[in-house]
Structure 1
Amino acid sequence: MILYLIKSTLCLGSILGIYYLLLERESMHHFKRFFLLSGLGFSFLIPLITIGQSEYMIDTSESGQYLVEVLSGNAAASSASPKFDVSLLFSVLYLLITVVFLVRFIVGIVALIRKARQNRNIPFKNATLVLVNERIVPYSFCHYIFIAHSDYLSKELEPELLTHELTHVRQGHSLDILAIELLRIVFWFNPFLPFMKRAVQANHEYLADREVINSHQGVAHYQRLLLDKVAGKTKIHLTSNFTYRLTKKRLKMMTKSTEKMRARFFISATLPLMAALVLLFGKTTFAQDDSTASDAELRSSIDSYFKDATFVCSDGDGPKVYKPYQALTEAEKGKIPPLPPSPPSLDGSATAISPLPKGTVVQLTEDGQVKILKNAAVPPPPPPPAKK
C-alpha cells in the first residue's frame, strides 16, 4: 500500500511537470482539460497496471506445512510485554485529518446550497441566477450563478461576465473541482493535488474567456472589465471566481493562439510520455523460463529464513537437542520443506520472505510439518558429566 501511494504521488507530480513544461502556455484549452483530468485518473491507476507476467513459482504442493504454535504458561507470560502500536497511531491520525477535510467539504457544499435556496432564483438559459443581497463579483457553482441583486435590478450586470459564468455551467467545470476535492479528502497527504486543482481552475478560466471573446467583440474591453472587477473579488474554494495572479495570466492568454501543427506536435508528444510513466510506475514483473525454482534457489531461501533460528531435534525416543540452524547436518537440513510463497511471521500473518528473529525455536515433525514455536525458550545446556 505504501509503495502504491508513493508511486501514485510521483506519477501525479510527473504529469503536472509534463503539463507545465509543454502545455500550460499553449491556448489548446480543451485538450489541456482532457490531459489534466485523464492524467489525474491515470496517476491513481498506473501503479496498478501490471507489465509482463512472471512465470516464476515455487512448487510447494508436497512441501509440508508451516505452522505457528503459541506456547502458554510461564514462557508466554515472561515474554509478553506491551508494545506501542505505531501503525494504530498513524491510522487514527489519518482518520482524524480525513474527517477534517470531509467536514470542510460538506460545510462548503451546504453553505452554497443554503445560499442558493435562501435567495431569489431566476431560471436563465441552462442555469439558475441566484440574486444575492451583497455586492459581489459573479461566480458559479454547478448550475447556479451567484450575482448581486442590485446589479440585476439596475441591469448593470455586464453581458461578458454572464457569458463567462454560463460557460462554466455549460461545460460542467464545477464537477472537475468536486472530483479533485473528493480525492483530496482521501489523499490529503498528496502534495500535488492542490497544484492540480489550481491548474484545472486556471484552464477553466481560459476556456470561459475564449467563449466570451468568441461571443463578444473587443478583447481590450473585456480585459479592462476584468481589471475593474478583480478588486472586488469573492473567493470560495468550490466556485469559479477571480484572483489577482490568475487574472494576470488570463490577460496574457487572451492574445495567444497555438498553430495547428504546433498543437499536433504537443498532443503527439504527450502519448509516449504517458507510456513512459506506465513503464516507470507500473507493476513490473519478469518472466523466467523455468516453472519451478532451482535447488540452489530453494536452499538459499531456506538458509536466509532460518539462519538465526534454533531447531529442536530428536532421534526417535531420545532426548531433545536444541541446535542453531547453522549447526544442523546436511541430512537434517534436507528434511526442511521448501518455503511457501509467503512464510508465516510470529504473529501468524503471511509476510514477505524475511529471516525469523534470532533465537526463534523451530520444530520439524515426523509428518513434514514445520512448527514455529512462539514464546518458546531454549533451555540451558546440560551440565558436564562429573569427573571420577
Structure 2
Amino acid sequence: MIILLPMLTNFFIYLAESTTCLLLFALIYSLFLSKTTYFQWNRWYLLSSVFLALIIPLTPSPFWLYDNQKEIINAFHWNLSPAVWQTKGQLSLPSQLFEKTQDSDQLIFLLGAIYTSGFIYKLWSFIKNLRVVIGLIQQSEKTQQESYFSVYTQTTMPTFSFMRHIFLEDVMTQLKQEELLQVIHHEQVHVRQRHTLDLLLLEIVGIIFWFNPVINYLKKSVKLVHEYLVDAEVVRHQDLKQYSHLLLKLALQQTNFPIANGISNNQILNRITMLTQPKSGQIQKLRFLMAIPALALTIVSCSFLGDENKTLPTVDAKVETKDITPDKKLPVRKITWVGNKLYTSSELDQALGIKKGDKYDEKDIYALIEAFGLVSVSNLYMDKGYLFYTSNLKSEIVNNEMEVEITIFEGEKVLINDLIIKGNNKVSKEEIIKQIGIQKGELFNRTKLINAQRTLSKIGYFNPDKIGINPLPKQTPKGWIVDLEFVVEEK
C-alpha cells in the first residue's frame, strides 16, 4: 500500500496535467479554428493536441524554466526533490513530499478505486462495440468488394464505415441508384482517409480520461471535421444541391458506434452551412499560430503542477557555477553561513574542514558538505533528526579568490514511525530489527541507516548488492514522521 500510494499520486498528477493541456488546446480550437474551412489542418491540429497532451506531462522541464523552478523551491525553503543517498546498495528518499495525513491517503485510494471502476466500464464498452462490428463483418451480406474497401448490407445499424468496411443499412437499397452511389462514395472517402484510426485513438484516450468532458468535445469535433472533409471531397464530383438534399433526407439516421463514421449526425445544418460558405482566406491560416503560445503555456503549466517525474532541481543541482572556470581550484577567501540556527558558524566551519587559503572549487566544497563521513555538515543535521535538511551554495570571485555563501535549510525534526521489512522469507522481521539497532519512536539518524545497511550486508543472510533502505516521510497533525522500509534479497 505504501508503494502504491506515490504511484497513484503521480498518476493523478499526470491526469491533471494532461487534462489541463487538453482543455487549453480545445479552447484554442473552439475560439479560433473550428469555423475555418482548412479541414485537414483542423484534423491534424486536433490529433496533435491529443498526442501533445499525453506527452508534455512526461517530458522534463525545459532549460529556460529550470532556474526559475530552483528559485521558487528555495524561496519556500521546501526541498521537493530530496537528495539521493547511495552507498554500496541503495539508500534513497522518495521523490514526493506532499502533505499527507491518513485521511488524505484514504482519499487517494478512494479516488483510485473510482477511477479504476470508470476505466473498466469504458474499456468494457469499447470492447463490446468492437465485438458488434466484428459480428457484423462475419454475419452481414457482402455486396461489393474493391481493393481497398468492402460493402456489406445489414439490418442492425444505420449506415457507417469502419476501417476498410462499409456497412449499408438495408433501407439504403431503396434509394435511387444515383443516391446510393453518393452514399457509398461518401463512405469510401472515410475509408481512404483512414478516419477510423482517428476515432480509435480518441476512444483509447477516452478510456484513460473517461472523467474528462473535453475528450467528448474533441471526439465530436474530430467526427465533424471528418464529415467536412468527406463532404468537400464528394461535392467535387457530385452536384452540391443534390448532395445537400441527400444529407437532409438521411438526417434522422444516428450512428451509435463512437468508433464508426456515419453519413449523418445531428450537426447536419453545420455541414450544409460549411459546404456553402466561402473558403477561408490564406490569412486565416495564421490562426493556427495560436498553437505556439498554447504549447508554451501548457509546458509552463505542467512544469509547476508538481510532477515528481520531471527533472526538478535536486540537492546536487543547486551548485551555481557562474564565473567559475571548470576544474580550476581557487583559494578560499571567506565562507559565510546563512540560515543556521542549530549550529554556530564556527561549528559548521569545523565540520566542513576548509581553512582560509585552501584551494577548492564549488564541486569540492559541496561534496564536503554532503559527505558521508562521521563529521560532515549534512550528518550534523541528519543525525539529529533533520530529515529535510538541505543546503545551497553560491560563490563569487574576488581578486582571484573565492568567497562562498552556504545557505542552510534546517527543516524540522522527524521521528521514526514504523519499520517495514520486505523480501525476508527465512529470517524474521524481529531478527532483522534486532540486527539493525533502530527503534520506533527515535529520531531519524542517517548514520544509523548507513550502519544498518552495512550490518545487513555482513551478517550473511542477504545479497549485499540488493539491500535498500527507503525513508518514507509523511505528515500528521502533530508533525512529520517517517517510515523506514528495508528491502532485502535472501541468499
Q: What is the alpha-carbon distance in structure 2 between the residues aligned to residue 61 and residue 120 of structure 1? A: 67
Q: Structure 1 pair 273/99, CA: closer, same or farther in 2 (3 Å)?
A: closer
> C-alpha displacement at 1:213, in angstroms?
0.9
Higher mean Cα deviation, 276-285 or 199-208? Answer: 276-285
One of 210, 213, 222 as aligned partner of 1:191: 213
Letter in 2 for 1:336: Y
What residue number does 2:358 align with? none
Contact 1:209 1:254 in 2 (8 A): yes
Q: Structure 1 pair 364/178, CA: closer, same or farther in 2 (3 Å)?
A: closer
Q: What is the alpha-carbon distance in structure 2 between the residues aligned to residue 61 and residue 84 of structure 1? A: 26
Contact 2:255 2:261 in 1 (8 A): no
Secondary structure in structure 1 of the residue aligned to 2:150: strand
Q: How does 1:166-245 map to 2 (within 5 A)?
A: 166-216=188-238, 218-242=239-263, 245=266
Secondary structure in structure 2 of the residue aligned to 1:183: helix
> C-alpha displacement at 1:241, in angstroms?
1.9
Superposition CA RMSD, Å? 4.4
Q: Structure 1 pair 235/191, CA: closer, same or farther in 2 (3 Å)?
A: closer
Higher mean Cα deviation, 273-282 or 12-21? Answer: 273-282
Q: What is the alpha-carbon distance in structure 2 between the residues aligned to residue 166 and residue 301 of structure 1? A: 77
One of 29, 40, 43 as aligned partner of 2:39: 29
1:108 pairs with 2:189: no
Contact 2:190 2:230 in 1 (8 A): yes
Return 5+ residue gaps in structure 2 as ranges: 1-9, 71-80, 94-101, 305-310, 322-335, 344-377, 391-413, 421-439, 453-470, 474-491
Contact 1:66 1:370 in 2 (8 A): no
What residue number does 2:320 align with? 290
Q: What is the alpha-carbon distance in structure 1 between the residues aligned to residue 450 and residue 20 of structure 2? A: 44
What residue number does 1:159 align with? 181
Q: What is the alpha-carbon distance in structure 2 between the residues aligned to residue 83 and residue 271 of structure 1? A: 38
One of 23, 38, 53 as aligned partner of 1:13: 23
Q: What is the alpha-carbon distance in structure 2 between the residues aligned to residue 124 and residue 62 of structure 1? A: 64
Higher relative contact order (CA 8 A, sep 6+): 1
Q: What is the alpha-carbon distance in structure 1 between the residues aligned to residue 264 and residue 35 of structure 2? A: 18
Secondary structure in structure 2 of the residue aligned to 1:130: strand
TM-score (norm 2): 0.55
Paired positions, count: 319
What residue number does 1:275 align with? 296
> C-alpha displacement at 1:277, in angstroms?
2.6
Higher mean Cα deviation, 39-48 or 263-272? Answer: 263-272
> C-alpha displacement at 1:165, in angstroms?
0.7
Secondary structure in structure 2 of the residue aligned to 1:245: coil
Contact 1:177 1:238 in 2 (8 A): yes
Contact 1:47 1:281 in 2 (8 A): yes
One of 153, 160, 165 as aligned partner of 1:131: 153
Contact 1:131 1:147 in 2 (8 A): yes
What residue number does 2:62 align with? 51
Q: What is the alpha-carbon distance in structure 2 between the residues aligned to residue 334 and residue 224 of structure 1? A: 82
Secondary structure in structure 2 of the residue aligned to 1:12: helix
What residue number does 2:286 align with? 265
> C-alpha displacement at 1:90, in angstroms?
3.0
Letter in 2 for 1:176: D
Return 5+ residue gaps in structure 1 as ranges: 69-80, 303-332, 350-358, 375-388
> C-alpha displacement at 1:132, in angstroms?
1.1
Contact 2:158 2:168 in 1 (8 A): yes
Letter in 2 for 1:110: R
Letter in 1 for 2:62: I
Letter in 2 for 1:223: S
The percentage of counterpart residues that share the same residue type is: 22
Q: What is the alpha-carbon distance in structure 1 between the residues aligned to residue 240 and residue 444 of structure 2? A: 84
Deviations 1:128-187 (A, max 9, x none): 1011146x6421111111113464488645222211111111111111111111111122
TM-score (norm 1): 0.68
